[in-house]
Amino acid sequence: MTPESVAVDVVAALSHCDRALGDYATTIKLDYDFGPDSELYPHLVFEPQGSGAQADIRKTIRMPISLRPFLSNEIGIQIMLTFTKMSCEVASSVEAHLDRAMAGWEPGVHVLYRKVSEGLRLAELSETVDAHILDLYRLPTFPKSLGIRPRG
């Protein structure tokens, strides 16, 4: 594998992951009533990590509570891709970052879901990302556990 082909594969994996995670987050945002002022924010950071690199691909649904002081409750839906010389890793998670209690959840950071796949070859990355996204779709409806009602 040439460095150029590795670079193309990494960029393709990042693009695929960002698009698939965006589709999932948009589905959740449309299916549940997060409030009239809620917004969906994208986030993608790719940076060196030791002898490899890590990509943090995240979609955040922010529900503002007040402007002074600024308070919000956020749902972070994330996939981390870690690349080393030996292997790759895919980690997916859903976290609630709460400034105010919601449906029995106290303020703070709560991990609602986490899955990690390690020891992957670069060629397995897109397929593994797809499996993680499919698992997110199969999650019990985590918005309901935060007191967020389905639309309709």
Whether 150 maps to a domain, the answer reads: no
Whether 151 maps to a domain, the answer reads: no
Task: Give pLDDT tens digits for 96-137.
Answer: 999 999 998 999 999 999 999 999 998 898 899 999 999 999
**Distance of alpha carbon 92 from alpha carbon 86, whole angstroms:** 21
Task: Give pLDDT tens digits for 25-77.
Answer: 999 999 999 999 999 999 999 999 888 899 999 999 999 988 777 889 999 99
Provide φ and ψ at 151, rounded to 5°.
-75, 155
Tell me the residue range of the domain where 87 lies. Answer: 3-145
Whether 152 maps to a domain, the answer reads: no
Q: Which single residue is written with the structure tokens 């695929």? A: 16
- Total number of domains constituting the chain: 1
**Distance of alpha carbon 79 from alpha carbon 94, whole angstroms:** 9
| CATH number of the domain encompassing residue 41 | 3.90.1150
